[in-house]
Protein backbone atom coordinates (compact mmCIF):
# COMPACT_ATOMS: atom_id res chain seq x y z
CA UNK A 1 0.00 0.00 0.00
CA UNK A 2 1.28 3.48 -0.87
CA UNK A 3 0.97 5.41 2.37
CA UNK A 4 1.64 8.72 0.62
CA UNK A 5 -1.43 8.20 -1.58
CA UNK A 6 -3.60 8.04 1.56
CA UNK A 7 -2.49 11.50 2.63
CA UNK A 8 -4.09 14.75 1.36
CA UNK A 9 -2.67 15.88 -1.97
CA UNK A 10 -0.91 18.82 -0.29
CA UNK A 11 1.14 16.32 1.73
CA UNK A 12 1.34 13.42 -0.72
CA UNK A 13 4.32 14.99 -2.52
CA UNK A 14 6.40 15.09 0.68
CA UNK A 15 8.54 11.95 0.85
CA UNK A 16 8.94 9.92 4.04
CA UNK A 17 6.82 7.54 6.11
CA UNK A 18 8.87 7.06 9.28
CA UNK A 19 7.03 7.60 12.60
CA UNK A 20 8.49 11.10 13.05
CA UNK A 21 7.27 12.21 9.63
CA UNK A 22 3.87 10.61 10.17
CA UNK A 23 3.55 12.80 13.26
CA UNK A 24 4.50 15.84 11.16
CA UNK A 25 1.72 15.00 8.68
CA UNK A 26 -0.88 14.53 11.42
CA UNK A 27 0.07 17.77 13.14
CA UNK A 28 0.11 19.67 9.85
CA UNK A 29 -3.42 18.56 9.01
CA UNK A 30 -4.67 19.56 12.46
CA UNK A 31 -3.08 23.02 12.63
CA UNK A 32 -4.02 23.86 9.02
CA UNK A 33 -7.71 24.04 9.94
CA UNK A 34 -7.13 27.02 12.25
CA UNK A 35 -5.87 30.54 11.64
CA UNK A 36 -3.37 30.41 14.51
CA UNK A 37 0.30 31.17 13.99
CA UNK A 38 2.54 28.17 13.25
CA UNK A 39 6.26 27.91 14.03
CA UNK A 40 8.25 25.39 11.98
CA UNK A 41 11.41 24.15 13.71
CA UNK A 42 14.23 22.20 12.14
CA UNK A 43 17.64 22.31 10.53
CA UNK A 44 18.28 23.78 7.10
CA UNK A 45 17.16 21.44 4.33
CA UNK A 46 14.54 19.49 6.31
CA UNK A 47 11.59 20.68 4.21
CA UNK A 48 10.07 23.51 6.25
CA UNK A 49 8.92 25.39 3.17
CA UNK A 50 7.09 22.29 1.87
CA UNK A 51 5.18 22.03 5.15
CA UNK A 52 4.42 25.76 5.15
CA UNK A 53 2.83 25.50 1.70
CA UNK A 54 0.96 22.35 2.74
CA UNK A 55 -0.50 24.22 5.73
CA UNK A 56 -1.79 26.88 3.36
CA UNK A 57 -3.19 24.36 0.85
CA UNK A 58 -5.00 22.44 3.60
CA UNK A 59 -6.44 25.56 5.25
CA UNK A 60 -9.67 27.50 4.64
CA UNK A 61 -7.37 30.17 3.16
CA UNK A 62 -6.26 27.98 0.25
CA UNK A 63 -8.00 30.24 -2.29
CA UNK A 64 -6.05 33.23 -0.98
CA UNK A 65 -2.43 34.18 -1.72
CA UNK A 66 0.57 32.27 -0.38
CA UNK A 67 3.65 34.50 -0.08
CA UNK A 68 7.12 33.62 1.15
CA UNK A 69 9.75 36.01 2.52
CA UNK A 70 13.26 34.92 3.47
CA UNK A 71 14.09 37.22 6.38
CA UNK A 72 17.76 36.24 6.28
CA UNK A 73 18.25 37.30 2.65
CA UNK A 74 17.53 41.00 3.10
CA UNK A 75 19.02 43.84 5.12
CA UNK A 76 16.93 45.19 7.99
CA UNK A 77 15.80 48.31 6.07
CA UNK A 78 14.92 46.37 2.93
CA UNK A 79 13.09 43.73 4.94
CA UNK A 80 10.95 46.37 6.66
CA UNK A 81 9.92 47.80 3.30
CA UNK A 82 9.38 44.30 1.89
CA UNK A 83 7.07 43.30 4.73
CA UNK A 84 5.17 46.51 5.41
CA UNK A 85 5.53 48.50 2.19
CA UNK A 86 6.41 52.18 1.92
CA UNK A 87 5.04 55.44 0.60
CA UNK A 88 6.60 57.66 -2.02
CA UNK A 89 9.42 59.75 -0.54
CA UNK A 90 9.82 57.59 2.58
CA UNK A 91 13.52 57.25 1.71
CA UNK A 92 15.88 58.17 -1.12
CA UNK A 93 14.93 55.40 -3.55
CA UNK A 94 11.20 55.37 -2.72
CA UNK A 95 9.94 56.82 -6.01
CA UNK A 96 6.42 55.43 -5.65
CA UNK A 97 4.10 53.80 -3.15
CA UNK A 98 4.71 50.10 -2.62
CA UNK A 99 2.47 47.43 -1.15
CA UNK A 100 4.17 45.21 1.42
CA UNK A 101 3.93 41.45 1.72
CA UNK A 102 1.52 41.63 4.68
CA UNK A 103 -0.97 43.50 2.51
CA UNK A 104 -0.34 41.26 -0.47
CA UNK A 105 -1.05 38.18 1.66
CA UNK A 106 -4.37 39.53 2.96
CA UNK A 107 -6.83 36.65 3.17
CA UNK A 108 -4.04 34.13 2.74
CA UNK A 109 -0.78 32.97 4.30
CA UNK A 110 2.57 34.72 4.77
CA UNK A 111 5.54 32.39 5.29
CA UNK A 112 8.41 34.08 7.14
CA UNK A 113 11.50 31.94 6.70
CA UNK A 114 14.59 32.37 8.93
CA UNK A 115 12.56 34.47 11.36
CA UNK A 116 15.52 34.42 13.76
CA UNK A 117 17.38 36.80 11.39
CA UNK A 118 14.97 39.64 12.09
CA UNK A 119 16.35 42.52 14.20
CA UNK A 120 14.70 43.94 17.33
CA UNK A 121 12.97 46.96 15.69
CA UNK A 122 11.24 44.72 13.15
CA UNK A 123 10.42 42.18 15.83
CA UNK A 124 8.43 44.91 17.60
CA UNK A 125 6.45 45.68 14.43
CA UNK A 126 5.83 41.98 13.78
CA UNK A 127 4.58 41.50 17.32
CA UNK A 128 2.08 44.29 16.80
CA UNK A 129 0.78 42.70 13.57
CA UNK A 130 0.37 39.36 15.33
CA UNK A 131 -1.50 40.95 18.23
CA UNK A 132 -3.48 43.75 16.60
CA UNK A 133 -3.49 42.75 12.88
CA UNK A 134 -2.47 46.28 11.94
CA UNK A 135 0.60 48.30 10.93
CA UNK A 136 1.75 51.40 9.00
CA UNK A 137 3.76 51.49 5.80
CA UNK A 138 7.25 52.93 6.10
CA UNK A 139 6.96 56.73 6.03
CA UNK A 140 3.19 56.75 6.51
CA UNK A 141 0.86 57.40 9.43
CA UNK A 142 -2.21 55.65 8.02
CA UNK A 143 -2.96 52.39 9.84
CA UNK A 144 -3.65 49.36 7.66
CA UNK A 145 -5.61 46.37 8.96
CA UNK A 146 -4.93 42.92 7.50
CA UNK A 147 -6.20 39.37 7.86
CA UNK A 148 -3.03 37.39 7.19
CA UNK A 149 -2.03 34.09 8.72
CA UNK A 150 1.63 33.81 9.73
CA UNK A 151 3.70 30.65 9.34
CA UNK A 152 7.25 31.25 10.58
CA UNK A 153 10.32 29.03 10.37
CA UNK A 154 13.70 28.93 12.07
CA UNK A 155 16.77 26.71 11.94
CA UNK A 156 17.93 28.05 15.32
CA UNK A 157 16.78 27.28 18.86
CA UNK A 158 14.75 30.42 19.53
CA UNK A 159 14.81 30.01 23.31
CA UNK A 160 18.61 30.20 23.13
CA UNK A 161 18.25 33.33 20.99
CA UNK A 162 15.97 34.76 23.68
CA UNK A 163 18.51 33.95 26.39
CA UNK A 164 21.23 35.63 24.33
CA UNK A 165 18.94 38.69 24.03
CA UNK A 166 18.79 38.43 20.24
CA UNK A 167 15.09 37.61 20.09
CA UNK A 168 12.16 39.06 22.01
CA UNK A 169 10.63 36.69 24.54
CA UNK A 170 7.10 38.01 23.98
CA UNK A 171 7.43 37.50 20.22
CA UNK A 172 8.71 33.98 20.76
CA UNK A 173 5.61 33.00 22.73
CA UNK A 174 3.35 34.72 20.19
CA UNK A 175 4.97 32.73 17.36
CA UNK A 176 5.19 29.44 19.23
CA UNK A 177 1.43 28.83 19.36
CA UNK A 178 1.48 25.73 17.15
CA UNK A 179 5.05 24.38 16.80
CA UNK A 180 5.95 21.64 14.30
CA UNK A 181 9.39 20.01 14.49
CA UNK A 182 10.85 18.57 11.29
CA UNK A 183 13.38 15.82 12.06
CA UNK A 184 16.84 15.84 10.45
CA UNK A 185 17.54 13.21 7.81
CA UNK A 186 20.05 11.40 10.05
CA UNK A 187 17.16 10.61 12.42
CA UNK A 188 14.97 9.07 9.72
CA UNK A 189 17.32 6.97 7.62
CA UNK A 190 14.51 4.46 6.99
CA UNK A 191 13.14 7.05 4.55
CA UNK A 192 16.37 7.14 2.52
CA UNK A 193 15.48 4.46 -0.08
CA UNK A 194 12.19 6.18 -0.95
CA UNK A 195 13.82 9.61 -1.07
CA UNK A 196 16.68 8.40 -3.25
CA UNK A 197 14.34 6.66 -5.69
CA UNK A 198 12.17 9.77 -5.88
CA UNK A 199 15.12 12.02 -6.76
CA UNK A 200 16.53 9.45 -9.20
CA UNK A 201 13.23 9.41 -11.11
CA UNK A 202 12.94 13.21 -10.95
CA UNK A 203 16.36 13.94 -12.40
CA UNK A 204 16.29 11.06 -14.87
CA UNK A 205 13.16 12.64 -16.34
CA UNK A 206 14.71 16.11 -16.36
CA UNK A 207 17.84 14.81 -18.13
CA UNK A 208 15.94 12.50 -20.48
CA UNK A 209 17.75 9.35 -19.37
CA UNK A 210 16.88 5.98 -17.84
CA UNK A 211 16.59 5.91 -14.01
CA UNK A 212 19.64 4.50 -12.22
CA UNK A 213 19.39 1.32 -10.17
CA UNK A 214 20.51 1.98 -6.59
CA UNK A 215 23.12 -0.56 -5.51
CA UNK A 216 23.17 -2.14 -2.07
CA UNK A 217 26.67 -0.79 -1.34
CA UNK A 218 25.69 2.76 -2.24
CA UNK A 219 22.63 2.59 0.01
CA UNK A 220 24.71 1.27 2.90
CA UNK A 221 27.19 4.15 2.56
CA UNK A 222 24.40 6.72 2.35
CA UNK A 223 22.70 5.22 5.39
CA UNK A 224 25.80 5.62 7.57
CA UNK A 225 26.46 9.22 6.44
CA UNK A 226 25.11 11.91 8.82
CA UNK A 227 23.67 14.29 6.18
CA UNK A 228 24.40 17.71 7.75
CA UNK A 229 22.61 19.34 4.79
CA UNK A 230 19.60 17.03 5.20
CA UNK A 231 17.24 16.29 2.28
CA UNK A 232 18.56 19.23 0.26
CA UNK A 233 22.07 17.77 0.40
CA UNK A 234 20.79 14.31 -0.56
CA UNK A 235 18.93 15.75 -3.55
CA UNK A 236 22.08 17.50 -4.79
CA UNK A 237 24.15 14.32 -4.65
CA UNK A 238 21.49 12.23 -6.38
CA UNK A 239 21.19 14.80 -9.17
CA UNK A 240 24.97 14.77 -9.62
CA UNK A 241 24.98 10.95 -9.74
CA UNK A 242 22.28 10.88 -12.41
CA UNK A 243 24.20 13.36 -14.57
CA UNK A 244 27.63 11.75 -14.08
CA UNK A 245 26.70 8.06 -14.32
CA UNK A 246 28.22 6.10 -17.23
CA UNK A 247 26.23 2.94 -16.63
CA UNK A 248 22.82 1.82 -15.33
CA UNK A 249 23.80 1.61 -11.63
CA UNK A 250 23.90 4.18 -8.86
CA UNK A 251 27.19 2.90 -7.47
CA UNK A 252 29.33 4.03 -4.53
CA UNK A 253 31.87 5.78 -6.77
CA UNK A 254 29.20 8.30 -7.82
CA UNK A 255 29.07 9.67 -4.29
CA UNK A 256 31.37 12.52 -3.11
CA UNK A 257 34.57 11.40 -1.30
CA UNK A 258 33.47 12.74 2.11
CA UNK A 259 30.25 10.72 1.94
CA UNK A 260 32.32 7.59 1.25
CA UNK A 261 34.67 8.43 4.14
CA UNK A 262 37.63 9.19 1.84
CA UNK A 263 38.02 12.80 3.01
CA UNK A 264 37.10 14.77 6.14
CA UNK A 265 33.39 14.92 6.75
CA UNK A 266 31.65 18.28 6.51
CA UNK A 267 30.34 19.13 9.94
CA UNK A 268 27.17 21.16 9.70
CA UNK A 269 27.59 22.58 13.19
CA UNK A 270 24.56 24.49 14.41
CA UNK A 271 22.85 25.12 17.71
CA UNK A 272 20.27 22.49 16.85
CA UNK A 273 22.98 19.79 16.97
CA UNK A 274 24.37 18.86 20.36
CA UNK A 275 28.00 18.45 21.32
CA UNK A 276 27.66 14.68 21.68
CA UNK A 277 26.66 14.31 18.02
CA UNK A 278 29.57 16.41 16.82
CA UNK A 279 32.07 14.55 19.01
CA UNK A 280 30.75 11.22 17.76
CA UNK A 281 31.35 12.31 14.17
CA UNK A 282 34.90 13.42 15.05
CA UNK A 283 35.59 10.09 16.75
CA UNK A 284 34.28 8.19 13.73
CA UNK A 285 36.51 10.27 11.49
CA UNK A 286 39.48 9.57 13.76
CA UNK A 287 38.80 5.81 13.69
CA UNK A 288 38.65 5.92 9.89
CA UNK A 289 42.07 7.60 9.86
CA UNK A 290 43.82 5.37 12.41
CA UNK A 291 46.63 4.51 10.04
CA UNK A 292 48.00 8.05 10.28
CA UNK A 293 50.28 9.48 12.95
CA UNK A 294 48.36 10.34 16.14
CA UNK A 295 49.83 13.85 16.27
CA UNK A 296 48.82 14.48 12.66
CA UNK A 297 45.36 13.09 13.34
CA UNK A 298 44.93 15.40 16.34
CA UNK A 299 45.93 18.40 14.24
CA UNK A 300 43.56 17.35 11.45
CA UNK A 301 40.62 17.22 13.84
CA UNK A 302 41.55 20.56 15.45
CA UNK A 303 41.79 22.12 11.98
CA UNK A 304 38.41 20.69 10.98
CA UNK A 305 36.70 22.21 14.00
CA UNK A 306 38.55 25.53 13.69
CA UNK A 307 37.70 25.89 10.01
CA UNK A 308 34.04 25.08 10.60
CA UNK A 309 33.83 27.47 13.56
CA UNK A 310 35.35 30.35 11.60
CA UNK A 311 33.16 29.65 8.57
CA UNK A 312 29.95 29.54 10.63
CA UNK A 313 30.87 32.70 12.57
CA UNK A 314 31.64 34.57 9.34
CA UNK A 315 28.19 33.67 8.04
CA UNK A 316 26.51 34.77 11.27
CA UNK A 317 28.41 38.08 11.06
CA UNK A 318 27.59 38.43 7.34
CA UNK A 319 31.27 38.21 6.40
CA UNK A 320 32.37 41.23 8.47
CA UNK A 321 35.86 40.26 9.68
CA UNK A 322 36.12 42.79 12.51
CA UNK A 323 32.84 41.58 14.01
CA UNK A 324 33.85 37.94 13.44
CA UNK A 325 37.21 38.40 15.15
CA UNK A 326 35.52 40.05 18.15
CA UNK A 327 33.01 37.23 18.48
CA UNK A 328 35.76 34.60 18.23
CA UNK A 329 38.00 36.50 20.66
CA UNK A 330 41.00 36.62 18.32
CA UNK A 331 43.05 39.35 16.64
CA UNK A 332 41.78 40.51 13.23
CA UNK A 333 45.17 39.78 11.61
CA UNK A 334 45.02 36.24 13.00
CA UNK A 335 41.55 35.83 11.57
CA UNK A 336 42.71 37.09 8.17
CA UNK A 337 45.52 34.50 8.11
CA UNK A 338 43.10 31.72 9.08
CA UNK A 339 40.69 32.77 6.31
CA UNK A 340 43.51 32.47 3.77
CA UNK A 341 44.76 29.20 5.29
CA UNK A 342 41.34 27.53 5.12
CA UNK A 343 40.24 29.07 1.84
CA UNK A 344 37.30 30.96 3.37
CA UNK A 345 37.65 34.14 1.31
CA UNK A 346 34.20 33.62 -0.24
CA UNK A 347 32.62 33.78 3.26
CA UNK A 348 34.37 37.05 4.15
CA UNK A 349 33.94 40.63 3.04
**Per residue, what are the HEC states of 41-103?**
ECCCCCCHHHHHHHHHHCCCCCCCCEEEEEHHHCCHHHHHHHHHCECCCCCCCCCCCECCHHH
Q: Which of 226, 307, 221 is nearest to 265 (CA)?
A: 226
Res. 136: pLDDT tops 80: yes
The predicted pLDDT at position 277 comes to 54
Q: Give domain 3-183's CATH number out of 3.40.50.300, 3.30.420.10, 1.10.1370.20, 1.20.120.420.
A: 3.40.50.300
Tell me the CB-side half-sphere exposure of residue 312, using CA atoms within 13 A.
14
Q: Enter the CATH code of domain 289-349.
A: 1.10.10.60
Place 38 in a pLDDT band, splitting at 50, 70 and 90.
very high
Answer yes or no: pTM beyond 0.85: no
Confidence of residue 189 (pLDDT cuts 50, 70, 90): very high
Q: Would you identify the CATH topology of the domain 185-267?
A: Helicase, Ruva Protein; domain 3 (1.10.8)
Query: Confidence band (pLDDT; 50, 70, 90) for 306?
Result: confident
Q: How far apart are CA 81 and CA 139, in angstroms?
A: 10
> E strands within the chain?
38-41, 66-70, 109-113, 134-136, 143-145, 149-154, 178-181, 213-214, 249-250
Rounded to the nearest integer, the mean pLDDT of the chain is 85
Q: Phi and psi dihedrals of 298, rounded to 5?
A: -60, -45
Report the largest interatomic distance among the alpha carbons of the chain, rounded to a whole angstrom: 71
User: Range(s) for CATH 1.10.10.60 in the chain?
Assistant: 289-349
Say if residues 278 and 269 touch (Cβ distance below 8 Å). yes
Q: Where in the chain is the domain with CATH 3.40.50.300?
A: 3-183
Start-end of CATH 1.10.8.60 domains in the chain = 185-267
Amino acid sequence: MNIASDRPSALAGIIGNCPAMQEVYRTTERVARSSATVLLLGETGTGKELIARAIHELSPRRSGPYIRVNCGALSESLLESELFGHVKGAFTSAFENRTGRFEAAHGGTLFLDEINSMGFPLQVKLLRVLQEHEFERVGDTKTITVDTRIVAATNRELLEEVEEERFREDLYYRLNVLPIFLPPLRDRTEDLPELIEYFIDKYAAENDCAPLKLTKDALEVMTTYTWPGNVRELENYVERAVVMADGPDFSVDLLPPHVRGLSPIRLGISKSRNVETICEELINFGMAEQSGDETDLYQQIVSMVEKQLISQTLKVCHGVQTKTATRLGINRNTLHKKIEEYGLADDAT
